[in-house]
Amino acid sequence: MKKKLLITGISGLLGSNLAYMFRDKYEITGWYNLHRVFIPGVNSFKIDITDRKSVKDALFDYKPDIILHCASLTNIDYCENNKEEARTVNIDGTRNILSAYRKQDTKIVFISTDAVFDGKSGDYTEDDPVSPCNYYGLTKCEVENALKEHKNQITVRTNIFGWNIQNKDSLAEWVLNNLQRGCSINGFNDAIFSSIYTVEFARIMNRMLDKNLIGTFNLASRTSLTKYEFAMLIAEIFNKNKALIKPMSIDDYPFSAKRGKNLSVNTQKLSDALGENLPSIEECVKLFFKDYQSGLCDEIKRCYYSPAWHPSLDVIGYGRQSIDEADIDAVDKVLKSSNLTQGRKIEEFEKALCGYTGAKYAVAVSSGTAALHIACLSAGLKKGDEFITSPNTFVASANCGVYCRARPVFADIREDTYNVDPKEIEKRITPKTKTIIPVHFAGQICDMEEIRNIILEKQAEYKEKIFIIEDASHALGSTYKGSKAGSCIYSDMTVMSFHPVKHITTGEGGVVFTNDEKLYKKLRLLRTHGITNNEEDLIFKEQAYSSNSLNPWYYEQQALGFNYRITDIQCALGISQLEKVDYFLRRRRRIAEIYNNAFSNNKFIATPFESTDCFTNWHLYVLQIDFDAFGKDRAYIMKRLRDKGIITQVHYIPVHTQPFYRTHFGTNWGDCPRAEAYYRRCLSIPIFPAMNNEDINKVVNSLLEILLK
């Protein structure tokens, strides 16, 4: 029979990694407090370790053979500023575990820290006196002293990096993710540590448990680096731009808590006990990279979002939603509440969206199409006006202007990004042009700075306002020149969609962002029948009041609006989804990276281009295939892939070639030759966060098999 292993803090970086690595060897129960996890083969329960009775009852029921105590507040500055909470969790929580289960043959492993040392000399051994310079280190010292009463215990002093199961970064992930985005970062050139990769930590801990070691050990890398050198090492191994990393003194950073400068530790005691050298920090970073390549990082992170281990899909669509139990719980709570619509969740969702994008205002509506429509209406688009958009988009990007009885004008795309070409927009602007609707195709943001500059020049020339409405339905999470899609830095309004194939979903739904208060009020009015009961916006105030107070029933229809309301049910789902948006972004980029490596050398295929100005979310992954050179048409490949359970799609048939636009506006083939040439060769293959590595390999191998025969 397997030994029973309890891991506290299983939703943390170390706890989750240990559970993942040990799940086949032990019967594992994990405790979390705020963040539920779903690790295959592991039973997870919500237990607050500061609640003595809950701890006592749970330990009595489970009776573990080993307790790996990882639960802790580890944010050093937070502990410094919230000392009472830090003491309650880090010290009292541990005492609750020790007092609740005093079975002496139970092994207790306590995860301590290198912060128990003052950092003045470095190369600390287990026998060196402890002298923490911050409150976090002090809490760990106090627990170490309390554990001395328990004979069968291991205290591990460490510093770790790895793949965090939650939507936050370990130091190594923070370095990597910023370098991937092309963002400049600072690395402390006078802060030394001996950080160890969590997977190696788990391997060594496994040996320590097998050898039944007891006592205090430094479990870290046998070598040390400054944090600047560590960041440079990651850049070198991951082939990223080292010039983005700038050296900085830790003294120049405004930390709340003091840090020790040299927290390197000596691992000889543990090496002697195990009969092996511990890994160097350089070896750890190489293993970190290897696990990134193999997809282990993605499998670990998936455990935070899936209600169960995700099996390979029988049919792999080009896109689909990623729903977990947290999403279901969020919706369930609204279904059991008094407000299914027109409640507080709408405003909560809008605030969360503004917080993520940086926009000042957000108006959530029933669909992306509804969002486009009221954006055009708010811009005053009407009969006799013209608007310019891309032909390489879904028809809604053009329909929204036609709903306003304006005339669509299509500007051709760039050959590399497949986005609308600013120079083609410039050619088509006339005194009748009222609105520009650039579309961020596949998540890659258009050349918005150039588009804005063109519009500013034309406005000055024609003495008329030309509105810019970004169609960012594909682009949630993408950035352009450091600004997130939706920020409206280069536009009057930005529209997004939350359809199930989009980056996050509300089932159906959409939003308009703006930084203009007047536009915001128009958008809100148009969303709900043109009706308002907002006191400051009322027109006929003499009818609105009785005895100097606003009549509670009073409202005014001030415009011909629409029922474009979104529900609280949808917004609850959207709020839950938005918490995972950065994970979805990283997962899509990881899949795109695998595809790029797999297809880049195939003579029939051109992989998609990513502008250096843009960090795209890869909403779509579109290949350009030379069907003529291959000798088979697109339908042949799509049918062959469908037979293998892989659904592909074409994004898009150029809008100006659609019968409606040809009939009513005189557009035709030949109007946008670059968009038409793109259309003849494009094929969207599956990309969505719920794909596991088997799904990805199936897509790659199936397509290459077809193209190589």
Cβ distance 402 to 374 under 8 Å? no
pLDDT for the residue numbered 304: 75
Domain edge (last residue) among 246, 267, 302: 302
224 within 8 A of 264, measured Cβ to Cβ: yes
Question: Mean pLDDT per 10-residue run, the chain (709 residues)?
Answer: 94 95 95 88 93 92 94 95 96 91 77 97 96 97 90 94 90 93 93 98 97 96 98 97 96 95 98 97 97 88 62 80 87 92 93 97 98 98 98 98 98 98 98 98 98 97 97 97 96 97 95 98 95 87 81 89 96 94 90 94 94 95 95 96 96 98 98 98 95 91 90
Q: How many domains does the chain have?
A: 3
- Same domain, yes or no: 552 and 683: no
Residue 596: inside a domain? yes
Query: Both 20 and 73 in a single domain?
Result: yes
Residue 589 lies in a domain: yes
- pTM of the complete model: 0.81
What is the CATH number for 529?
3.40.640.10
**Residues in Cβ contact with 453 at an 8 Å cutoff, skipping those fewer than 6 apart:** none
The answer to whether 281 and 161 have CB atoms below 8 angstroms apart is: no
- Residue 305: what pLDDT? 65
How far is CA 473 from each of CA 208, 445, 450, 696, rounded to the nearest angstrom?
52, 11, 20, 24
pLDDT recorded at residue 309 = 41
DSSP code of residue 623: E
Q: Which of 239, 259, 270, 237 is nearest to 193 (CA)?
A: 259
120 and 233 belong to one structural domain: yes
Residue with the two structure tokens 């792999």: 316
CATH code of the domain containing 211: 3.40.50.720
Structure tokens at 362: 């957000």
Whether 392 and 526 share a structural domain = yes
R_g (Cα) of the chain, nearest Å: 29
- Measured CA distances, 124 to 111, 130, 503 (Å): 17, 9, 47
Q: Where does 410-447 have alpha helices with state H?
A: 422-428
In a domain, 226, yes or no: yes
**The pLDDT value given to residue 492:** 98
- 337 and 192 in one domain? no
Rounded CA-CA distance 441/504 in Å is 16
Q: Does residue 479 share a domain with residue 589?
A: no
Residues 100 and 132 in one domain: yes
Q: Which of 526, 488, 579 is nearest to 366 (CA)?
A: 526
Last residue of a domain, one of 517, 546, 578: 578
Cα 93 versus chain centre, distance: 31
Structural domain harbouring 39: 4-302
Q: What is the CATH number of the domain that holds 657?
A: 3.90.1150.10
Whether 350 and 491 map to the same domain: the answer is yes
Q: Which residues contact 471 (CB under 8 A, 6 or more apart)?
A: 372, 389, 393, 397, 437, 438, 439, 440, 495
Last residue of a domain, one of 578, 602, 625: 578
- Is 80 within 8 Å of 349 (Cβ atoms)? no
What DSSP character marks residue 118?
-
Question: pLDDT value at position 308?
Answer: 40
Q: Is 320 a member of any domain?
A: no
* 221: in domain: yes
Contact 614, 479 (CB under 8 A): yes
**Angle CA(307)–CA(309)–CA(315) in degrees, nearest 5?**
100
Verify that 526 and 617 share a domain, yes or no.
no
- The answer to whether residue 321 sits within a structural domain is no
Whether omega for the bond prior to residue 652 falls within 30 degrees of 0, making it cis, is yes
Q: At what angle do helices 281-294 and 198-210 cross, to 10 degrees?
A: 110
Whether 331 is in a domain gets the answer: yes
Considering the domain architecture, whether residues 139 and 245 belong to the same structural domain is answered as yes
CA dist., res. 655 & res. 571, Å (int): 31
Domain shared by 567 and 643, yes or no: no
Q: Is 311 domain-assigned? A: no
The reply to whether 571 and 589 lie within a common domain is: no
- Write out the two tokens for 404: 């306003």
CB-CB contact of 641 with 381 (8 Å): no
